[in-house]
Amino acid sequence: MQNIAVVVAQSCPAAERDALLAFKAGITEDSSGQLTTWVATTDCCTWFGILCKNGHVIELWLDGGGSGAKWGHLTGPLGSSLFTLLELEVLVLSETQNLTGPISPTIGNLTNLVRLDFRSNKLTGSIPSSVGNLKKLKWLSLGGNPITGSIPSSIGTIGDSLNNIYLGESSLSGSLPNSLFQLSSLTGLFLGVSNLSGSLSPLVGNLGPNLTVLDLSSNSFSGALPPTLGQLTKVLVLDLSFNKFTGQIPASIGNIGATLFNLNLANNELTGPIPPMFAKQLTGLAALGLENNQLTGPIPQGAPFSNLSVDSFTPGNPGLCSRPLPPCTGGNRKKLL
């Protein structure tokens, strides 16, 4: 009887299969066996975490933050082989905890990417300027890694496609590039818990049309808060806490209105009064952090301030007075002047 060779049909090109296998070859630990289906003799479009379209790999999604038997940690270098998958639209290797090494500049070759997420790993080095080539990108998440250097100005050239940037919980340093404030389609900018510094440019107001979250907390930003923060009229969360901002709270923040749900300016070096009109303007406030500044004068009265606890204003701010703190005295009033 004649032997008949069994040929396994490959829906994805051999070059794309080999690029995936090169990534797998560097992985030294796969705690939940996510890559066990990645076998050279099978169709890579059937492998776990892979999605194909028209015979090309368009999605690689391995998220260690999920639940169930197929979720876990990957240990090993990120490498650069994945950056040859030129049809990729989604590249998610988030919360796998133990991916190491730098992000290769060849990532800029993935010009079809819509989502890039390497969140919560051990990646090092700087963010390559070639990310500016990713003109279709909507989601950029590299935070939770010990990446260093400054935010490349090329990020601002990605353009109107970009909706969310998460670079927080990193070792990024330096000031924010002005080009960042050209991204008027951003809905979320998360840069908290890093080593960023410098002043906050008045250009931040350019983010007003769509921004709902601005998180610059736990950095080393300094200088005055720009009045243009009041142009962020759709922002729900404005967190500038744990920095070195000085000067007075801009009254223009009240222009955000009832949209603002959480305002956190705690642990800075702010002085002067809380703008009295906030009580009438910021009627949607449910969380306020002003503690550990050098604010003075009466706390605005009326909702929502009447619903806030002492913890919103103290410790710190010994010059503040009025409910929920003790009543104002002559000394308090002089500090307001």
Helix (H, G, I), strand (E, B) or coil at 320: strand
Residue 9's pLDDT is 45
Helix (H, G, I), strand (E, B) or coil at 94: coil
Q: What is the Cα–Cα distance from 81 to 109, expressed in whole angstroms? A: 11
Structure confidence by residue, pLDDT tens digits, 165-197: 999 999 999 999 999 999 999 999 999 999 999
User: Parallel, antiparallel, or unpaired: how do β-strands 139-141 and 188-190 relate?
Assistant: unpaired
* Burial of 194 from C-beta contacts in 10 A (0-12 / 13-18 / 19+): buried
Q: What is the Cα–Cα distance from 65 to 152, expressed in whole angstroms? A: 28
pTM (two decimals): 0.92
Which residues, at least 6 apart from 222, have a Cβ–Cβ distance to it below 8 Å?
Answer: 197, 198, 199, 243, 244, 245, 246
Contact 127, 140 (CB under 8 A): no
Contact 89, 59 (CB under 8 A): yes
Below-50 pLDDT ranges, the chain = 1-9, 67-69, 333-337
Q: What is the Cα–Cα distance from 8 to 267, expressed in whole angstroms? A: 62
CA 140-144-150 angle, to 5 degrees, is: 65
* Torsion angles phi and psi, residue 99, rounded to 5: -75, 135
Q: What is the Cα–Cα distance from 64 to 164, expressed in whole angstroms? A: 20
CA 42-18-66 angle, to 5 degrees, is: 70
Q: What is the Cα–Cα distance from 288 to 266, expressed in whole angstroms? A: 9
